Every structure is written in C-alpha cells, then in structure tokens.
Structure 1
C-alpha cells in the first residue's frame, strides 16, 4: 500500500515545537508521510524568536519542483511565508503542479508575540495564496488583520468576518477561537453552505507552542487520506485538543512549551 503524502511549506523552528517540525510530527502521528519545503530558518525557543533567516525565493522554487517531480503529494499545508518574493514563488509552484488540497495557515505572529510576517507580504497572502487555498485557518487576530478590521467579538461578528474572507476566493475558512474567552474554545468552519461551530473545553496550560501549525497540518493529513473537509477539520480539532491536554506531560523549555504530538503513543 502506498502511504498518503502531504507537503508542508513553512519555516523551521529550531526548538522543534512549531513550523516545519510541528507539521512533520503531526503528519507522522496521523499516519501520513511528510515532505517539506523550508521558507525560512528561525532561531527560536519556547521563550521567543531571536532571529529569522529567509530562504531565497529561487531555492523555495527548487524545493517545490524537486518534491512534486517525484512524490505523489495529496495535500499541501502552507505556514510561515515572511516575504513577498517567497509568496510569489509558492503561488507559481502551486499553479504549475496543481495539488488537489491546499491548507493555508496565515501565520503572522508567534505564540510568544514575535511578528513573523512582513507587513508588505500581507497583501500577497490576500491576493496570491488565499484564492488558491482549499481552506484557510486564521485565528481571531489573523482574521482581523487580513480584513483590516477590529478583533471580532461574538459569534455573529466571527461568522461575518469568515464570510468576508470567503470573498477573497477560498471555498472554506476555519476561524480559530483559541484567543477567545469562556470555558470552551470554539472554532468556526465557514463555507457558502453554512457555518459549523466546533467546540472543545478550554485547557488551562501555557504549553500551546505550535498549536495553529499542528491543527492546519492535521487537517492537511486528513485531506491527504481522502477525508472530506468537514471530517478532516473535526478530527484535527479533536486530535489537537487531546495534544494540548497532554502537553504538560512533556516538560520542554521554560516558556510556552510544545503540545504533545505523540500523546497517543507515549
């Protein structure tokens, strides 16, 4: 049997909790073979980001072409893309190779609060990557930033922002509620056909490094395995919630530690 393959296009996290490393861990934990295209190297740990080294756009293109020329990629996850030239390279690669499923996580700020995306690159996300995506997965601050609007407060405002993001050209938006309030963390899957609220208990832990990266890559893993969008999103939400609940068992670092990607195995 040929294992399903997913590709992550994202930045590297030297501490192993987010970015490429979190994506590959998520793919592996969910039974999917992971390939990678690195867009940037970050010097970071659980306390913060101390440096970012950009990968040249032409080398991003070379990585994309090398992977697609040989591997049967069933789904692509896109994470940190900090420069407009890299966004252009990714958009051209997607146009050339036409992967069936593309999950875009518009990473703008790290868990530590460090900004990861240059301001001039935001418009590139809006016009060049969002229209090519099958699903985008912004959290509440990212959704507001993409729309140049205040942070949405309440279900009606979140759904309204979701529909305005749909108008940018993607068929599905998952607005993540981790930055919200209340006993539950509620994500909203917004499509033309309607809105689905996905709730999970809000877990009291500081170890949430890489949560957004892991959720989007878990969704991509589900799509690579042939799941429909709603099934992939529901399963990924449940899996990440369990990984957050188990995060304190790891004891990694002195800041925002990683979630436990392999909680089902050890």
Structure 2
C-alpha cells in the first residue's frame, strides 16, 4: 500500500465553508464584496433576548466591513454573534457520575475537591494533571469563594483557567471519571459571568468549539435555520482563521475587489 501524503484536516467543516460562500466575506486577506449589503446592514446588533435568556449565550463581537457602491465607500460596524450554550448530556456510565452530581448540585465539576476525598482519587488526579494541579486548585478556590462571598471579580480568572485546561484533555482521569467535564465547567462559568454582568472574551478556538457544538445540536434537533447566525458565524470564522479552509472554496464563488 502506497503511503498517502499527509493532508491536514481543515478547521472549517463543509457547512461552515458553505456559510462563507453565501456571505461573500474576505478570504485569505482578499477583500470580497458581499452580494447582499442590505442583509449585512439589517443584521441586529443583538438578538431579541430577555435578560434570563441572554444568560445562556456567549456573546462574540463581529467586525463587519462592507462596500456601499452608491457612496463609493466602505462602512464598518460591530455586531454580536450570540452562541447558545449546550451542556453535555450525562449517561449512566461511570465516566458521567461526577457530572451527574454537579448538575444535581448546581456547581462545577471540581477535580481538585474530588482529589481530596480519598487517597485513590488523589492518585488519579495527581497522575493525570501533574503539570496543571495548580490550575485545578485555583479554579476550585475561586468558585467556592464566590459561592461564599458572591464577589464575582475572580470568576474571569477561573473561566480562563478552565479554557486553558481544555487544551490538556483528554486525560486518563477524564476518560474514566470526568467525561465532558471541561465544556460543562466552561458553560457554567460563562453563565455565571453573564449573570454577574462581567465583561470577558474567550479565545477564537474556544468560540469555534462553542459554534460547532451549537451547530451540531441545531442539526440533531432539526431546529429552524437562523440565517443571521449563519452569516455572523461565517464572518467570525473568516476573521479568526483567514488562512484555514479557504482552499476548498472555488474562485467562481467569490467576487473580489
């Protein structure tokens, strides 16, 4: 069998590439005229959400540039992509028991606290997270301190640490005891930050993950298509990852300046 040349997997899936095609955004640094300026201008700055509903969304600012032929100028606006948060659904497997406890108790999945409950637990956590134990401990301390004091100042730090910890997954501990704990904790802290009206911003890769999880749920549940979300998420991807995945677009699909 001949060795096949390595081909890196595109960051964008075919659905997201189709979104970029439809939106006619900038690809690989080249500016592209949108085929529907009125659509871009008509996008709401924020969707119609109540305060209670907005808690369950992550808000990502999107910078929009479009050309107005009649005025021979470019216009610039900032609008917001609201990404619905979807939590992992626990199963009856052992790897989801801690997640079930966290959901029932309405708290984070606390790996540091788990490690303090028995010598066996400590061995599992310390061997799996030997380079990130300090991060786990800090997240635990910040969260439980917030529960006691209701002071939200350090919640952003906890959220960013959870975001960083996601890069070290999966581990033996997460495979055995904490499946999907990191996305659950991330969603949990995003909601807390929203509730306490804290301004924060996640990394592009994390936002991409939230979009993918939202899109997967939308497709699985057969929800009504949201054209505004599709366009704004396409704009996010081209701004965040301008040189990834664009090679799969046909030149005929784009109208360059």
TM-score (ref. length: structure 1): 0.25
Instruction: Determine which structure has greater relative contact order: mean sequence separation of CA pairs < 8 Å that are 6+ residues apart, divided by chain length.
Output: 2
- Say which structure is richer in helix: 2
Indicate the structure (1 or 2) with the bigger Cα radius of gyration: 2
User: Of Structure 1 and Structure 2, which has the larger fraction of its residues in strand?
Assistant: 1
